[in-house]
Amino acid sequence: MARHLLGLEGTTREEIFYILDTAASFREISEREIKKVPTLRGKTVIGFFYEASTRTRMSFEIAAKRMSADFISLSASGSSLSKGETLLDTARNLAAMRPDGIILRHPSAGAPHFLAERVDCPIINAGDGAHEHPTQALLDLLTIREHRGTLDGLKVAIVGDILHSRVARSNLHALRALGADVRLVGPPTLLPRELRAWAEVTNNLAEGVRDTDVIMALRIQRERQGANFFPTLDEYARYFCLTEAAVRLAKPDVLIMHPGPINRGIEIASDVADGPYSVIMHQVTNGVALRMAVLFLLINRSREVAVPEVEANAQPATLRRKAG
Ligand code: CP
């Protein structure tokens, strides 16, 4: 395991499985009556969110607290950033307080990488601009593997605003590493050219979702769109909203996923989001276990560690490691 978690580009199959196996072993902690283990007692984690977040911020906080770490939350509006302090000065000041890890969400691609070179503690990317969102993709993989047992050979359609989606980029790298076939589906203006080398692309929703095992719908990121990429939201929805009719073209046991937040009736119909194939709430539940695993693996790297109690079917040998 590397010192930081900045992105999934270049991550190997073995590294991804190591994180997923660790996360799978942590799932049962959240089902206990007392949802707390002492694994990160005495550790301090800072959640530094420059952009709005519900799922990522809350699940990192819950994950840290379930492992007995102290979690301190900082947002742009409540920090001295609003007085003109730079990201680097803010981060240096936070690092001077000796946290054991900093989780950063930032609107600029590369901000976590910039910090990782300049502060002396693990940095976890919680979403940097339109670049990567590694923990979201890892929890997506955990959810697919939980339902399908494998990712090898699965056909996965990622539908929507690919251009502005850090979730799509992280998933594309990780799904390919694990042997899945990825199709990117959206209007031509929202399908970046550089990704066409790595996945099938189509502008036709029916073609894109046909015979797929997994469909991931993405939010239209209006806050990142400086130009008009399609005429109106109604028109976008007419061609790209994931409806029941579109889902019927996929495999009969297709998994419907969405990283959230959802724009109902724009990228996904309510009856699909809440329907029998939807695993959207499983994604959210798995987000806690996945983030527990990431905190555990990055923060506990200075000593030999063992997962406190593993599921009956987990492989303990994969969950033990030496100091990195
Ligand atoms: N999926 C996701 O990153 O959601 P939040 O923006 O609510 O954290």
- What is the tens place of the pLDDT at every residue in 101-118? 999 999 999 999 999 999
Q: Which stretches does DSSP call E strand in the chain?
A: 44-49, 70-75, 101-106, 123-128, 155-159, 181-185, 200-202, 214-217, 255-257
Pairing of strands 255-257, 123-128: unpaired
287 Cβ inside 6 Å of ligand 1: no
CA distances from 249 to 68, 201, 243, 245, 254 (A): 46, 17, 10, 7, 10
Expressed in angstroms and rounded, the spacing between residue 127 Cα and the centre of ligand 1 is: 9
> How far does residue 136's CA lie from ligand 1's centre (Å)?
8
Measured from the CB, is residue 189 less than 6 Å from ligand 1? no
Tokens describing residue 227: 């130009």
In 3D, which of 245, 244, 242, 246 has the Cα closest to residue 257? 242
Q: Which DSSP letter does residue 234 get?
A: H
- Rounded to whole angstroms, the Cα distance separating 190 from 244 reads 23
pLDDT digits (tens, 9 = 90+) for 210-246: 999 999 999 987 766 656 788 788 899 999 999 999 9
Cβ of 56 closer than 6 Å to ligand 1, yes or no, is yes
Residue 126 CA: nearest ligand 1 atom is: 3
Report the nearest-CA residue for atom 6 of ligand 1. 53
- Ligand 1 in contact with 263 (CB < 6 A)? no
pLDDT-flagged residues of the chain (< 50): 302-324
Give the residue, by CA position, lying nearest to ligand 1 atom 1.
259
Predicted pLDDT of residue 310: 36
pLDDT for the residue numbered 256: 98
Ligand 1 contact, 308 CB (< 6 A): no
Residues facing 128 on adjacent strands = 106, 132
Asked whether 223 lines ligand 1 (CB < 6 A), one says: no
131 C-alpha to ligand 1 centroid (Å)? 14
Q: 269 C-alpha vs ligand 1 centroid, how far in Å?
A: 19
Whose alpha carbon is nearest atom 4 of ligand 1? Answer: 55
In whole angstroms, give the CA distance from residue 138 to residue 171.
8
Instruction: Output the CA 322–ligand 1 centroid distance in Å.
Output: 33
Single pTM value for the model: 0.91
Amino acid at 184: L
CA 5 / ligand 1 centre spacing (Å): 17
- Mark 54-64 as b/e (b = at least 16 C-beta within 10 Å): ebbbbbbbbbb
Ligand 1 close to Cβ of residue 54 (< 6 A): yes
For ligand 1, the distance from its centroid to the CA atom of residue 296, given in whole angstroms, is: 21
